[in-house]
Structure 1
Amino acid sequence: MSSSETQSLISLSLTNVEFDSSDPIAYAFAYITLSPLVILVVYPTIIVARREVASINMFIGQFSCEILNAVLKRWLKEKRPTDKLGDGYGMPSSHAQFIAYFTTFSILYLYIRITFDQNLWKFPIAFSLIILSITVSYSRIYLDYHTSKQVLVGNIFGVGFALIWFIITESILRSFGVFKLIVESPLAKFFYLRDSSYVPNIIKVEYMNWVALSSKQKKT
């Protein structure tokens, strides 16, 4: 292989995180900071398994938020704390913006659209999401991939975008019947898409349906 061919090769290392192996906190943060990648895998899994338009809507918003982050980075052109860690610009932190959007949208949907027999269960879920968001954001600072300002701005844009996206889609578009039109379309019916946002305690309803089907199968 010639030298010119060698120089044209690059490495795609999405999970590459550099840290001090002698620091147990850095070691833990190195895994925690990869949470957005895990969430990206969870998104299509939930969409395929559940076929809910709400999940698809949330994912589209997440992708749009990432596009906004890329545009902001190219516009602001602020460097990272050190050139040795991470590629590209650092303002705003994409990890912080990603997890802030995910957390904010999830909590809004949890409290506005989802019902349980005991809604007190919503608090530990929301609290866990907030802790995850704070931990992921702080990991970017601790590992020296971003400054505090870059992480703060990332959180501001993530939270702000989630609020705007939720209001536009879940409040305005839903009130105009857009989601209903989507699930009633031939394409949506072909892929078995559904909208369970108005079903009270959907988890219990689905469980009771399973119990009924299971009992029927046992009798046959």
Structure 2
Amino acid sequence: MKISINKTIFEQAEQFKIGLIHYNKITVAQSPQMIKGRTQLYQENLYLELQSTSVTERPGIQEWRQLWKTFGADPNRYRHSAESLMRRISKQNYLTPYHSAVDLNNFFSLQYELPIGIYDTNTIEGAIEIALGDENTGYEGLNGRYNVLTNILYSQDAHGAFGSPFVDSKRTAVTEQTTDALQIFYLQPSLQIEQADQLLTSAGKMFTQISGGDYTIAVLTKSNPTIEF
């Protein structure tokens, strides 16, 4: 599976980075009580923090809002997924358990303050490219509507667009039948490579402790824009 970043992205954001985790032989099921409890406690503590500090003041959220603007999108109209999750929690509208892959994906997104997508690789065909969308880029999303991704980052395969830091598509969603998955971390540009490696390794270890299988990580940058798993 070949994954690359379209080079035109670096013309607008030279320090742009993508983190990748490829999982093999995983089992997706109901989250264990330990994960449910840990996620609930994290959300309750985050809610208390957000009563004194707004969502948009948090460093990770703030940096991604600025990146949204750099690419020409409106961060107030099209909020990236990490900000949307935090805004829910700031209103005590806590996330409810779904299954282990989605629950962990949401937990990582809150913990690291960045958008993350997870995709069933058996639904993906051909090479994957991360690029910037236009008025013709879109798909049926997990939010139940067709989403146009003008000036929003997105991932595409041979069948077209399937993911973004805004909302993911139904086509590549992870289910309890998924055994191989790709997780895309839309890293903050300010994050150093060493920090990114540590973040991905920590997430990969926790994910496979719950779901089994094994994982491989990679970081894509301007100097290393392509990887093949």
What TM-score do the two structures reach when normalised by structure 2?
0.29
Q: Flag the structure with more relative contact order, 1 or 2, with Cα contacts below 8 A and sequence separation at least 6.
A: 2
The structure in which a higher percent of residues are strand is: 2
The structure in which a higher percent of residues are helix is: 1
